[in-house]
A = this chain, B = another copy of it.
Amino acid sequence: MEDRVLVVGGGTIGLATGFELVRQGTPVTLFERNDAGRGTSWQAAGMLAPDAEIGFEELSLYGLNRESLRRWPDFARRVEAASGMDVDYRDEGTLIVADDRDSAEALRRLFEFQEEQGLDVDWLTGEEAREIEPFLAPRLTAAIFCPSDHQVDNRRFLEATRTAFEAEGGTLHEQTPVEVVQPDPDAPAVVTADGERVEGGQVLVAAGVWSRDLDGLTPEAQPPVRPVKGQMLQLRRKTPFDLQHVVRGPDAYLAPKSDGRIVMGATSEEMGFDTTVTAGGLYDLLEGGWEVVPGIYDLPVDETWAGLRPASRDHAPLLGRTGAPGVCMATGHYRHGILLTPVTAEEMARLLRTGETSTWLEPFSPRRFSGTQSSNVSP
């Protein structure tokens, strides 16, 4: 039996899982519709922030997020060693700030919930926050410091992971959209837009928001992911302005990278596959950023863009075997694609190599949607 894994999708999940597989000796062919690492993962901000986001998700997802963050430093080192590239992993921590009475009250509720859950977080006055991050707005009254919430330069990480994947012997086909997946217990296959059929031992669908567009899967096996648009912009640091921590305000966050980029985001819009940058999107981000870090006012705006987060119906990822024989899935990572990369790559590689589904993956089986979904389709 062919043991080659065919990966559909060259974002952070496809590249990192491919890398894990090839470095452990499993051959991989990866198909990417455009350029590898230049889709949704490239458009992210690279925040690794389970603690800051705990209020917004199920606790089971928090557990997975936390576990993935725990694995991040080792995973980053492995990618750096295999690629010879630096991914700019930064552990200064995250500051969540409040800029008025309402947001201070919401911040207090978040802090109390974080403490109940035993998280390592600190409540700071505005003055204390400015001691560790001097460019915070003078009028900020309170902050939560999350020292365990780190960040990475996702663009560097993607280039490094792609290099590492190829360095370990992975085969990468770019500009090669897959249109059809052909399930089969022994020899599943993919068919590209050019009509080429490629057979392997297993197929891994890791195509983010495009995962649902693949032909050949039964409705039950199709992942219920939809795009959630996020508009973003990038500033360029300019002396004397500086920022060391990720800063999360009520309406925007700022993630400073070591190369001088400051990534700001993000709107959250249900607009289908629309990726236009709008007047209102930019306005809200600039206002939200300026209110918490007014020193951004004079910084150059380098780039603006919109990305599409792959969101499932419960906003948790789809990780594991599907109802289609020979086809696994790792998609639907929503806001957490970069954060969840190590645990996804390692556990999916284990599943694909050994057939063993770890307890980390079990709650996130793609098959949890099949019941609901089959009731929505005609008999």
List the interface of chain A (C-beta within 8 A of B): 233, 235, 276-280, 282-283, 286-287, 289-290, 296-301, 304
Q: A276 touching B297 by the CB < 8 A rule?
A: no
Q: Which of B277, B283, B300 contacts A283 (CB 8 A)?
A: B283
The residue in chain B whose Cβ has the minimal distance to the Cβ of A293 is: B279
- Cα distance A194–B53 in the bound complex, in angstroms: 60
CA distance A378 to B282 in the complex (A): 50
What are the residues of chain B within 8 A of A299 when measuring CB–CB? 278-279
- A277 and B304 CA atoms in complex are apart in Å by 12
* Shortest beta-carbon distance from A302 to chain B in Å: 9
**Given A301-B304, A304-B301, are A279 and B283 also a contact pair (CB < 8 Å)?**
no
Among B287, B297, B300, the residue within 8 A (CB) of A277 is B300
Cβ-closest 3 pairs across A and B: A280-B297, A283-B286, A276-B300
Determine whether the beta carbon of B289 is less than 8 Å from that of A301: no
Task: Please indicate the chain B residues that have their CB under 8 angstroms from the CB of A290 in the complex.
Answer: 279-280, 283
Our pick among B280, B283, B300, B304 for the contact of A278 (Cβ within 8 Å) is B300
Report the minimal beta-carbon distance from A270 to chain B, rounded to whole angstroms.
13
Cα distance A171–B297 when bound, in Å?
44
27 of the cross-chain contacts (CB-CB < 8 Å) are A233-B279, A235-B279, A277-B300, A277-B301, A278-B297, A278-B299, A278-B300, A278-B301, A279-B286, A279-B289, A279-B290, A279-B297, A279-B298, A279-B299, A279-B300, A279-B301, A280-B296, A280-B297, A280-B298, A282-B282, A282-B286, A282-B301, A283-B283, A283-B286, A283-B287, A286-B286, A301-B304
Q: How close is A268's CB to chain B, nearest CB, in angstroms?
A: 15
Distance from A297 Cβ to chain B, minimum over Cβ atoms (Å): 3
**Residues of chain B lying within 8 A (CB to CB) of residue A304:** 301, 304
List, in ascending order, chain B residues with CB within 8 A of A297's CB. 278-280, 283
- A233 CA to B298 CA, complexed, in Å: 17
Chain B residue at smallest Cβ distance from A271: B298
Interchain nearest-CB distance for A308 vs B (Å): 16
When distances are taken between beta carbons in the complex, the residues of chain B under 8 Å from A279 are: 233, 235, 286, 289-290, 296-301
CB proximity of A350 to chain B, nearest CB, Å: 44
| Nearest B residue (CB) for A262 | B279
Residues of chain B within 8 A (CB-CB) of A296 are: 279-280
A278 neighbours in B (Cβ, 8 Å): 297-301
Count chain B CB atoms within 10 A of each CB in A278, A297, A298 and give the residue with the most: A278
Give Cα distance in the complex from A235 to B282, angstroms. 12
- Bound: A152/B190 CA distance, A: 54
What are the residues of chain B within 8 A of A300 when measuring CB–CB? 276-279
Question: What is the CA–CA distance of A301 and B283 in the complex, to the nearest angstrom?
Answer: 11
Bound Cα distance A278, B280 (Å): 17
- Give the Cβ gap from A230 to chain B, nearest Cβ, in Å: 15
The docked-state distance in angstroms from the alpha carbon of A278 to that of B262 is 13
A297-B231 Cα distance, complex, nearest whole Å: 13
CA distance A300 to B290 in the complex (A): 22
Bound complex: CA A233 to CA B286 (Å) = 15
A298 proximity list for chain B (CB < 8 A): 278-280
Task: Give chain B residues whose Cβ lies under 8 Å from the Cβ of A289.
Answer: 279
